[in-house]
């Protein structure tokens, strides 16, 4: 494979035949850096969205359980009062009511625990609704990206977006609302310029 025209390593300048790992490592670092820059806000948005929906779900699930329990408790108190009156023409013994209230409190604590223990499953459910889609390879922005660095007009300049030549956008969908990632123009990244300029 190797011949005289294979370029030397862009990082350490040793011949290609040496097969050093400089370029592969630098590419990994560049990918991490680009991912951090471009995707961190998307991941944060997804996290906030999942968190909010999971919390809403858990709260409403708890509300269903505890409402049912309060209803049962009210019926129980009614039965205690009715029983005391029917048999003794008296109010029930206070301890009976205290015990019923304590049982309600225990039950509500249990309901809350049950609801909170569903978080892992509920979080996975909402994460599962997130749809990350990549553009088709046939899209113009993918086929013909604006390699401003290659054209020699973007090197060292700002990374402001350009109105012409866009990278295909990645679309993120979270249970309905669809939003597009901002468009970006290629620009050499400090420290990794070789990726685009070593031509």
Residues that bind Zn ion in the complex, under the rule CB under 5 A? 9, 11-12, 20, 22
CA-CA distance, 11 to 60, in Å (whole number)? 57
Pick the closer one to Zn ion by CB: 12 or 132.
12
Pick the closer one to Zn ion by CB: 25 or 41.
25
Q: What minimum distance in Å lies between the beta carbon of 125 and Zn ion?
A: 47
Q: Select from 50, 25, 10 the least CA-distant residue to 193.
A: 10
Q: What minimum distance in Å lies between the beta carbon of 154 and Zn ion?
A: 26
Q: What minimum distance in Å lies between the beta carbon of 8 and Zn ion?
A: 8
Pick the closer one to Zn ion by CB: 21 or 131.
21
Q: What minimum distance in Å lies between the beta carbon of 6 and Zn ion?
A: 13
Pick the closer one to Zn ion by CB: 12 or 140.
12
């Amino acid at each position: 494979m190797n011949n005289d025209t294979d370029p030397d390593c862009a990082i350490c300048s040793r011949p290609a035949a040496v097969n050093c790992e400089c370029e592969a490592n630098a590419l990994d670092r560049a990918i991490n850096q680009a991912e951090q820059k471009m995707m961190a806000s998307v991941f944060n948005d997804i996290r906030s969205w999942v968190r909010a929906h999971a919390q809403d779900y858990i709260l409403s699930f708890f509300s269903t359980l505890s409402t049912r329990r309060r209803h049962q408790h009210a019926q129980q108190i009614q039965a205690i009062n009715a029983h005391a009156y029917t048999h003794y023409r008296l109010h029930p013994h206070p301890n009976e009511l205290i015990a019923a209230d304590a049982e309600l409190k225990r039950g509500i604590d249990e309901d809350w625990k049950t609801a909170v223990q569903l978080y892992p499953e509920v979080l996975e459910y909402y994460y599962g609704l997130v749809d990350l889609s990549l553009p088709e390879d046939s899209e113009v922005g993918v086929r013909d990206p604006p390699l401003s660095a290659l054209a020699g007009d973007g090197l060292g300049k700002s990374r402001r977006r350009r109105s012409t030549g866009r990278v295909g956008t990645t679309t993120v969908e979270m249970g309905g609302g669809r939003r597009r990632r901002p468009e970006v123009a290629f620009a050499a990244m400090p420290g990794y310029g070789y990726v685009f300029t070593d031509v």
